[in-house]
Amino acid sequence: MELPKFLLGDNTDHPSAIFIIHTEYPRFIINLENDEVEWLEDFTQEDEKDLASEARDLIEAATSFYDRETARYQD
């Protein structure tokens, strides 16, 4: 099965939270309610240096995905 790069998620235990799941490396979940990011990968110190610059772009892409998806529901 081929997964999309981003998925929307919600959970009734967190009724005000909206989660974006990034399914490609580096995998992560961002909670748009508070911008908390949970990384689903184990990183070495070297990886963390590279990730610092890439993380901002990935989080912006996740937010853009959410904006695009919600705009489609509003049409």
Mean pLDDT of the chain: 92
% pLDDT > 90, the chain: 75
pLDDT digits (tens, 9 = 90+) for 20-53: 999 999 999 999 999 999 999 998 888 887 887 7
User: Which of 75, 55, 68 minimizes the C-alpha distance to 6?
Assistant: 68
What's residue 75's pLDDT? 64
pTM of the shown model: 0.87
Average pLDDT, integer, range 1-21: 96
Backbone angles phi, psi at 44, to 5 degrees: -85, 170
Q: Is the peptide bond before 15 cis (omega within 30 degrees of 0)?
A: no
